[in-house]
Amino acid sequence: MNSLKPSRLVKFFATLVTASVLLSAGGCMSVEQTSVDGREVNAEKAVNDHVKAAMTYLSDGQVGAAQRHLNRALELDPKSIPAHNALALSYSMTGELELAEKSYLDLLNIDPGYSTARNNYAGMLFKLGRTDEACDQWQTVVADGTYDRRAGAYYNLGQCRLVQQRFAPAEQAFERSIALDRNNPASYIELAKLYYGNGQYDKSQVLYSEYRNKKGQPSPSSLLLGIKLAVENGDQNAQASQALALKSLFPDSPEYLEYQRRARNQ
């Protein structure tokens, strides 16, 4: 079974930078009046304005300015979920991961059911190599039937289980990711590799074909799988074309070295 690199969390972890998601959970915010320069203003509106301004600064890479707005938002409402989530993002961007973790934990203490933040927190743990903790967090996320990005969370959970070498739970996670979103090629190729590793070549071929039909981007591991399946099917033309692509696109990859070893031993 091929080893997994944490960087393969791909686009599902991109929910970290979606401003609309960050601004979607203001339900815990209380409405009160406060004074700014002698004028009475609505605190809820002020908090939202600070978070919106912060997201604009974050998108421009001005993290310090963003944090000033977020800290002000939390002064007005210490339980503002969007502000805590954006602050965690800002600390992640600057590499201050202890502060990012504190922000995530503060947020989840306020609202344990806010799966967007839990998904992001799990991704940070995974990148830090805290695999067991990350898997536990993603297991909680996928159990939230109201979370609208469960397909991505299941994919992330599958990747996490692969690192744990828990292949049956990984297979189940990728299957559920596909059931929820049949248009994402990433889950197809991961499940195809698992089936191949189990000797289920026909199932692997079906999923590999779906991966290609959905315009999955070639990677060293996907091309090597294509070569292996072509060998099993006796398709020399497919084997040659996939091998050429692997050599041309990824000549320094471990997968190409594996292909060369296989070719010498045939």
For 236-259, the pLDDT digits (tens) are 999 999 999 999 999 999 999 999
pLDDT at 9: 53
Whole-model pTM: value is 0.80
| Residues 6 or more apart in contact with residue 243 via CB below 8 angstroms | 227, 259, 263
Distance, CA of 105 to CA of 70 (rounded, Å): 16
**pLDDT tens-digit map of 72-87:** 999 999 999 999 999 9
Residue 261 has pLDDT above 50, yes or no: yes
| Residues 6 or more apart in contact with residue 219 via CB below 8 angstroms | 189, 250
CB of 84 closer than 8 Å to CB of 94: no
pLDDT at 262: 84
Residue 12 has pLDDT above 90, yes or no: no
Query: Greater confidence, 188 or 25?
Result: 188
- The mean pLDDT value for 108-112 works out to 95
**pLDDT tens-digit map of 137-194:** 999 999 999 999 999 999 999 999 999 999 999 999 999 999 999 998 999 999 999 9
DSSP string, 224-243: HHHHHHHHHHT-HHHHHHHH
pLDDT at 41: 59
Residue 216 banded pLDDT, cuts 50, 70, 90 = confident
